Amino acid sequence: MRVNLIFPPYIAPSCVPIGIAYLKSYVERNLKNIYVKTLDLNLEFVDDIVDGKICRLIGKDEIECVNEEILCETAKEIIKNRKLFYNKDLIVDYVAPFFSIMMEYSNHFNSILKLYIEGKIRFDENPIFEYLKEKVKRILDDNPILIGFSTLADSQVNFSISLAKLVKRESDIPVVLGGPAYFNFDLQTLMECFDFIDFIIVKEGEKALLELVKKIIEKDDDYSNVPNLVWRRKGKVVFNQESMIEDLDTLPTPDYSDLELKNYYFPELVLPVSSARNCPWKLCKFCELNAQYGPKYRKRSIDKVIEDLKSLKERYNASNFLITDSEVTSSRLKELSQAIIDSGLKIYFGCYARPTKSLSLDVLKVAYKSGCRFLMLGVESLSDRYLKFSRKGTTRESIIEVIKNSYKSGIKLLCYMLCGIPTHTREELLSDMKEIADLQKRYKIFSVVYCLFCLGKHQEFYREKEKYKIEVIRKTPVFSPVNSKEIYLESWLEYRYPDRGAYDILKDDDSMPELTSLSEAYEKLMKMTEKFELNGSQKNRAFLSTINNFLFETQLLYAKYSENVEVD
C-alpha cells in the first residue's frame, strides 16, 4: 500500500522539502507494509518554466517565449556551476530576471487558481488546468490510499488546495492538507466551505499522519484519537486534541531518497536538518512559535544529530547543511560543534541564533572549526528600550559583541531587523538603520534584512492589543467562495492606533495619510534602507535580494567560499 505526499509550487527552487522527508521516514519505519512516495511538484514547476512550457501555456508570443527560455536556461547554468555562481554580476544580470519571471508565472497561476477554488471559474475555462491535470495523474499513480499536500509557505496554498480539488474530481481517495502555511487559517470555515478537503493536520505531522494511515488501512472512520487532526463527524468540523512528540530521538533521519537532489537550484547540495523543535527562549512578544509548535522546547540528543549528519552525508554525498531550528543556543552550538569535530565529520553548516552575551568568541571559534560558516541572527533592534520592551533577551552591547566576534571568527552573518512593533518610534528606527549600516560596513555583515511587524492572533502583542489601543480594521480575506462565507487569515491583520496608522513611523511627514497597508509600508521601508546604503550598492542589493528571496539556502555557500577574516 502507498501514501503519496506532495510538495506543491511555488517556493524557492533551492528549498529541499524537509517536512515530507521526515513524514516519509517516520511512517515507513512504523508501518512496514506502507511505502510513502514523496513528490516535489515545486521543482518540476520551476523546470517547466525553464523549458518554456509555462510561457507557451499562458499564450505568450513565441519569440518572447524563446527569449525567456534562453535567459532561464542561462540562469540555471549559472546557478548550477560552481565557478559562475559566485560571480555577482552574473547573478544580477541573469538570475535576478529569472527570479522575476518565476514570480510573474507564480502570480499568474495563483490568481487563476484562487478563482477556481472559489468556484468562480470552471475546470475547462483556462489552459493551465490541462497542465495541472498531468500533475494530478502523477499524484494518483499506483492508486494510493491517502494523498497529502505539505504546504510550507503562503505562496503554495492556492496550488495545494486546487490540486486537492482536482484530485477529488478524479477519485475518492482521501486528501489531507498540512504544513505551517495553514497555521493562521480559519480552519473551521475552510473545512465548512471546501468539502473536497477530507482532513487537515495542524502543527506536528508525524504522529498524526501515522495514526491517520492506520485508520484508513483498518477502514475505521472514527478519527477521534488521531492527534492534531481536523476532520468531519456527521457533517460537523471536529478539532482533535493536540499532541507533540516529546522525545525527538524517536524520530528517524529524514529520507530524501525520492527527491531528485541533483536537480535543485544550487551549485552544491544543501540539505535541511532539524535538531530541535520550538524555541528555547519563548518570550519574544512578537513571536508565534510557541503556539505553532507547542509550549515545550524539545531537543534531539547531540549523538542523534551526529548520526543524522553522518547518514545524510554518506547517503547523499552532502557536505552542506542548514539547521532549521528556530534558535540554536550558544551552549548547544558549542556542544554540537565539538561533537562534529570529535566525530571527524567534514561538513559546513548554518543556523539561526540569538545574539546573547553567551555567544562568545570562544564559542564561535569552536563553531567555525566544526564547519559553521553562516549565522542568521535575530537582531530586531539596537535600542535597549526596544529590546527590553519586546523581551528579546538581548542588549545592544551583546548584539554588537556577537557581530564583532563573528567577524573575528570568520563566520558570516545575516541580521534580521524588525520595524513597527507597538511603541516603536521613528527616532529608534532611524538610529537603528544608521548603526546597523555602519556595523555592516565595518564588520562585513553579509546581509541585513528588514522585516515589518505583522499583527497576528497568536502573539502576546495581540493579546495585549487593548493595552496599546490597537484597533483591528480587518482580517486578511484569503478566499471568497461563491454562496459561502469568506475565509480569513488570523495573521497579517490590518490595524491602527487611535491617532495614527500602524506604520506611520515610516511617513516622511505628518501631512501624509495614515499608513496601515503592509505593501505600502514595506515599499517605504525599503526606500529608507536604501538611503542608509544598507547592503551596499544598488547592484549588491539586487544580488542579495535574489539570494535571500530566490536561492536562500545558497547563502551558506557564499559564506563558505568567501575570504575568512582573522581566523586563529
478's grid cell: 484569503
How many percent of the chain have pLDDT more than 70?
Answer: 99
Determine the pLDDT at residue 568: 29
Q: Please report where in the chains the cell 535576478 appears, as a residue.
A: 96
Give the 3-state DSSP-derived string for 122-166, with helices as H, strands as E and coil as C.
Answer: CHHHCCHHHHHHHHHHHHCCCCCCEEEEECCCHHHHHHHHHHHHH
Determine the pLDDT at residue 566: 37
- Angle of helix 330-343 relative to helix 302-316, nearest 10 degrees, comes to 50
Using one digit for the tens of pLDDT, what is the confidence trace for 63-104? 999 999 999 999 999 999 999 999 999 999 999 999 999 999
410: helix, strand or coil = coil
Average pLDDT, the chain: 94
CB 201 within 8 A of CB 210: no
CA angle 408, 410, 411 (to 5 degrees): 110
Which among 207, 154, 212, 206 has a CA at the least distance from the CA of 180? 154
CATH of 268-453, one of 3.90.1150.10, 3.40.50.880, 3.20.20.70, 3.30.1360.30: 3.20.20.70
Whether the ω angle into residue 105 lies within 30 degrees of 0, i.e. cis, is no
Average pLDDT over residues 97-115: 96
pLDDT range class, residue 110, cuts 50, 70, 90: very high
Determine the pLDDT at residue 276: 96
Average pLDDT over residues 434-444: 97
Using one digit for the tens of pLDDT, what is the confidence trace for 393-413? 999 999 999 999 999 999 999
* In the chain, domain spans: 2-59+124-239, 268-453, 456-532
Average pLDDT over residues 418-441: 97
Determine the pLDDT at residue 398: 98
Average pLDDT over residues 177-192: 94
Has residue 118 got a pLDDT over 70?
A: yes
Concatenating the DSSP letter of every residue in 513-535 gives PP---HHHHHHHHHHHHHHTTTT
pLDDT range class, residue 291, cuts 50, 70, 90: confident
Contacting residues for 449 by C-beta, under 8 A, at least 6 apart: 414, 415, 416, 417, 548
Has residue 476 got a pLDDT over 90?
A: no
Q: What distances in angstroms separate CA 132 from CA 37, 149, 260, 377, one per listed residue?
A: 19, 15, 20, 39
Q: Please report where in the chains the cell 496554498 appears, as a residue.
A: 157
Determine the pLDDT at residue 438: 97
Determine the pLDDT at residue 361: 97
Average pLDDT over residues 180-206: 94
Q: How many C-alpha atoms does 560 have within 13 Å on its Cβ side?
A: 21
Has residue 565 got a pLDDT over 50?
A: no
493: helix, strand or coil = strand
Cα end-to-end span (Å), the chain: 55
Has residue 206 got a pLDDT over 50?
A: yes
Contacting residues for 358 by C-beta, under 8 A, at least 6 apart: 329, 330, 331
Using one digit for the tens of pLDDT, what is the confidence trace for 494-527? 999 999 999 999 998 878 889 999 999 999 999 9
Segment (H or E) for 336 = helix 330-343
Average pLDDT over residues 165-179: 96
Average pLDDT over residues 225-238: 96
Has residue 35 got a pLDDT over 80?
A: yes
Concatenating the DSSP letter of every residue in 79-103 gives HH-TTGGG-HHHIIIIIHHHHHHHH
Which among 323, 324, 313, 320 has a CA at the least distance from the CA of 267? 320
Has residue 557 got a pLDDT over 90?
A: yes
pLDDT range class, residue 533, cuts 50, 70, 90: very high
pLDDT range class, residue 484, cuts 50, 70, 90: confident
Determine the pLDDT at residue 512: 84
Average pLDDT over residues 237-261: 96
CATH of 2-59+124-239, one of 3.40.50.920, 3.40.1390.10, 3.40.50.280, 2.40.160.20: 3.40.50.280
pLDDT range class, residue 529, cuts 50, 70, 90: very high
Does 268-453 match 2-59+124-239 at the fold level?
A: no
Average pLDDT over residues 150-173: 96
Q: How many C-alpha atoms does 198 have within 13 Å on its Cβ side?
A: 18
Which among 374, 274, 214, 287 has a CA at the least distance from the CA of 22? 274
Has residue 440 got a pLDDT over 80?
A: yes
pLDDT range class, residue 186, cuts 50, 70, 90: very high
